[in-house]
Amino acid sequence: MDIVHLLPDHVANQIAAGEVIQRPASCLKELVENSLDAGATNIQVIVRDAGRTLLQVIDNGKGMSQTDARMAFERHATSKISQVEDLFSLHTMGFRGEALASICAVSQVEMTTRRQEDEVGICLEIDGSQLVHQEPCACAVGTNLKVKNLFYNVPVRRKFLKTDQTELRNLLTEFYHIVLVYPKVQFTFVHNDEVLLDLPSGTEKQRIEAIFGRGRTHAFTSNLIDLRTDTELVSIRGFVSKPEASGKNPQQYFFVNGRYMRHPYFHKAILTAYSGMLPGDYAPSYFIYFDIAPEAIDVNIHPTKTEIKFADEQAIFQILMAAVRESIGKFSLAPTIDFNREGELEMPLPTAPGNTIGRPATGMPHIQVDPTYNPFHRNQPAAPRNWSTLYPDRPAAPKPADDAQLPLYEHDIPTGVPYQYADRYILLPTRDGLLIINQHRAHICVEYEALLQQLREQKGVSQQLLFQEILDLTPDEMAAMETILPDLRAIGFAIDQFSKTSYGISGVPAQLPQSDALTMVRDILQAVMETGTDVQQRWQEQIALSLARSIAIPYGKILTQDEMQDLCDRLLSLPTYSRTPDGKRVVTLLSNNELENRL
């Protein structure tokens, strides 16, 4: 008997769906991209239960004819290309004709659609690739597509979905990637009957503000500098954050020819441009839009991949880095313009529309850029100026051999008198040699252990703030906050939802300084979101680490003998103390043997 046969279509579609539609966010991306391809100027996204039960996209695009509406759900059905050559002159987001076929293979789809020229539209119901109902219907011009019960027939996939908060964050992230490139198109995003985002048509900057401004006017975009450069190879425009406005929770986005992309190499170009201007763990925000000839990039890789290959990456690296440097430089000289020489100067920085800071108007005086400008030098502690570059914060490196050779102290810790060196190290004589301890990291280790324990035992003690502080959040941050709320309370934060887009903080853990409640919660939130974790233990560790960092004694702080002794005792009684929880070296031992060899 012959055993080779073709797979039935619905089976083939379900297999293909696994590649294109991995989670509600990938489904949302495909639907919204289709609406944009259809020329919509208004797109509404309606979601229930983070997309598990409903993902609906309503657009006012060109709609489909009755036949097209049926065809659209077949595999490789597309109106966008017909021959391979078309791939190189694409003006649409989709082209594979796989999305709708994949979506309807793993969900229950209901669609109504009508073109301008048709009197009536069509309504279709498709259930796991099978057409179950079809009839003409009265509806608005455009397409209204509901995806219900995603993965209802693929239990494995359904099971692998994360918590609603995580899936909602994924949806919003995907949504940001799209709406940031289409500021002219009006979007709304509704989750469980709540409007999370209402984005009117506007400029790129207004769109950025509407998403990240957290309800305050120009709170976010006033910290951005314009950037623009045009070369034969590539045009780059966008915004980067002012060095002193950069922070620990940067928003970083690259787009190429209207698509979001990840590009670690270009990311490095931007960091290089800022190098020396930002303290260790600060990073700039950026929104960079590349325009490049389609032949010079390859987007035709896996449909869900956001990495894009450029033909000339090294050249673009240089162009980008120079452009960012120039923007920062131009911005930083603004305060040093000499207004005493009035009359010689025209209005130095033109603000006429379209005439951005990056493009001096004619007649502007020549201005010297101060290459040593560093907004943070003012606030730097007595520590060596560039300590953060002398001791770059690297991710956990493989443990070097001497980690293992550190002495272990069980209960009694026989040590000599500690001595503080260079306001950042503690030198501690021990039986095995001289331990050199990084004071800040040592303190992180001991506070981390203590905090983690409090968190697990829910024993955090709270101190009241005099005034409630309001933390404004973006929708994806709101979702993350909901996840970690019980743990924040367990560690001693008194924190409650204040409005649809904010939380009120009225108490902080007793051991924390009262002054930076907002920064602390924001840092925690960011750290948890970056880890993208769904595992409570992991985010508890993040919370403990963020808090430990903010209470740890800083470099440059002069310690008393008692403080040093106490810190050393607590450190050495930890089960391991060679590394911080995020892998940075805490101590090094100059062993007696080594000393004898040298002297």
| Residue ranges in contact with ligand ADP by CB under 6 A | 30, 34-35, 37-38, 59, 61-64, 72, 77-80, 94-101, 143
Q: How far is the CB of 235 from ligand ADP (least distance, A)?
A: 27
Query: Of 34-42, 322-330, 385-393, 394-402, which segment contacts Mg ion by CB under 5 A?
Result: 34-42
> What is the Cα–Cα distance from 187 to 42, expressed in whole angstroms?
6
Size of the site for Mg ion (CB under 5 A): 3
Residue 72 binding: pick among ligand ADP, Mg ion, none (C-beta 5-8 Å cut-off by kind): ligand ADP
Residue 220 buriedness (CB in 10 A; 0-12 / 13-18 / 19+): buried
Residue least distant from Mg ion (Cβ) = 94
Q: Which two tokens stand for residue 576?
A: 């391991």
Nearer to Mg ion, 34 or 388 (CB): 34
Nearer to ligand ADP, 258 or 348 (CB): 258
Q: How far is the CB of 195 from Mg ion (least distance, A)?
A: 26
- CA neighbor of 445 nearest in space, from 556, 559, 583: 583
Q: Which amino acid is at 136?
A: P
Would you call 338 helix, strand, or coil by DSSP?
Answer: coil
Full strand arrangement of the beta sheet holding 186-191: 130-137, 121-127, 108-114, 142-148, 54-59, 42-48, 186-191, 194-199
Q: Residues 399-418 vs Mg ion: string with x where CB under 5 A?
A: --------------------
- CA neighbor of 411 nearest in space, from 214, 598, 575, 526: 575
Residue 24 binding: pick among ligand ADP, Mg ion, none (C-beta 5-8 Å cut-off by kind): none
Nearer to ligand ADP, 37 or 164 (CB): 37
> Per CB under 5 A, does 143 bind Mg ion?
no
> Per CB under 5 A, does 99 bind Mg ion?
yes
Nearer to ligand ADP, 188 or 501 (CB): 188
Q: State the residue for tokens 């009839």.
A: 135
Query: Of 99-107, 131-139, 362-370, 523-531, which segment contacts Mg ion by CB under 5 A?
Result: 99-107
Residue 170: what are its φ and ψ, rounded to 5°?
A: -60, -40
Q: State the residue for tokens 């020329």.
A: 39
Query: Of 93-101, 125-133, 418-426, 585-593, which segment contacts Mg ion by CB under 5 A?
Result: 93-101
Nearer to ligand ADP, 84 or 599 (CB): 84
Nearer to ligand ADP, 26 or 578 (CB): 26
Nearer to Mg ion, 124 or 328 (CB): 124
Q: How far is the CB of 259 from Mg ion (least distance, A)?
A: 13
- CA neighbor of 115 nearest in space, from 170, 46, 216, 38: 38
> What is the Cα–Cα distance from 392 to 330, expressed in whole angstroms?
27
Q: How far is the CB of 121 from Mg ion (least distance, A)?
A: 20
> What is the Cα–Cα distance from 150 to 511, expressed in whole angstroms?
46
What number of CA atoms fall less than 13 Å from residue 290's CA on the CB side?
Answer: 26
Q: How far is the CB of 37 from Mg ion (least distance, A)?
A: 6
Q: How far is the CB of 78 from ligand ADP (least distance, A)?
A: 3
Q: How far is the CB of 112 from ligand ADP (least distance, A)?
A: 11
Q: How far is the CB of 94 from ligand ADP (least distance, A)?
A: 2
> Per CB under 5 A, does 238 bind Mg ion?
no
Using CB under 5 A, which of 13, 14, 26, 34 touches Mg ion?
34
Supply the DSSP symbol for 405.
T
Residue 405 contacts residue 306 (beta carbons within 8 Å): no
> What is the Cα–Cα distance from 140 to 113, expressed in whole angstroms?
8
Per-position DSSP letters for 199-212, written without gaps between them: E-S--HHHHHHHHH
Q: How far is the CB of 178 from ligand ADP (least distance, A)?
A: 14
- CA neighbor of 440 nearest in space, from 586, 576, 577, 541: 586
Residue 97 binding: pick among ligand ADP, Mg ion, none (C-beta 5-8 Å cut-off by kind): ligand ADP
Would you call 3 helix, strand, or coil by DSSP?
Answer: coil
Nearer to ligand ADP, 143 or 578 (CB): 143
Residue least distant from ligand ADP (Cβ) = 94
Q: How far is the CB of 287 from Mg ion (least distance, A)?
A: 25
Q: How far is the CB of 69 from ligand ADP (least distance, A)?
A: 8
Per-position DSSP letters for 478-535, written without gaps between them: HHHHHHHHHHHHHTT-EEEEEETTEEEEEEEETTS-GGGHHHHHHHHHHHHHHHT---
Residue 79 binding: pick among Mg ion, ligand ADP, none (C-beta 5-8 Å cut-off by kind): ligand ADP
Residue 78 binding: pick among Mg ion, ligand ADP, none (C-beta 5-8 Å cut-off by kind): ligand ADP
